[in-house]
């Protein structure tokens, strides 16, 4: 079964959920704020997709960090920041069991 990771009030997540539901594609939604986020799952995202694909450095959350938090960014430091502030993670992340897809692009989403 598909699993979508994100935050329910995110516009991209809303669009992706609406798209899946309109096509009656079954999925489970994992909300970081409600269901939590553990280091193992986040590290899996980073390992599979790369840090640049997972960490949203153009987000409001990123801009609100102080310079010390943003400087000397290592993969480990970035993971710790994302665990502390899940809104730093690009959304949604869709897991179909074989691949991870970041963001909402209907051309990349499964059709059944």
Tell me the catalytic residues. 10
Q: How far is CA 87 from CA 1, 9, 10, 70, 83, in A?
A: 24, 11, 9, 15, 9
Q: How far is CA 105 from CA 3, 19, 109, in A?
A: 16, 10, 7
Residue located via tokens 């990771």: 5
Residue 83: cis peptide before it, omega within 30 degrees of 0: no
């Amino acid at each position: 079964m598909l699993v979508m990771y994100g935050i329910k009030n995110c516009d991209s997540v809303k669009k992706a959920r609406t798209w899946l539901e309109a096509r009656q594609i079954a999925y489970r939604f994992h909300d970081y704020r409600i269901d939590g986020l553990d280091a193992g799952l986040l590290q899996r995202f980073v390992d599979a997709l790369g840090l640049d694909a997972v960490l949203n450095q153009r987000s409001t959350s990123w801009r609100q960090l102080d310079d010390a938090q943003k400087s000397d960014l290592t993969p480990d430091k970035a993971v710790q920041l994302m665990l502390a502030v899940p809104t730093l993670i690009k959304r949604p992340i869709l897991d179909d069991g074989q691949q991870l897809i970041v963001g909402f692009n209907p051309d990349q989403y499964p059709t059944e």
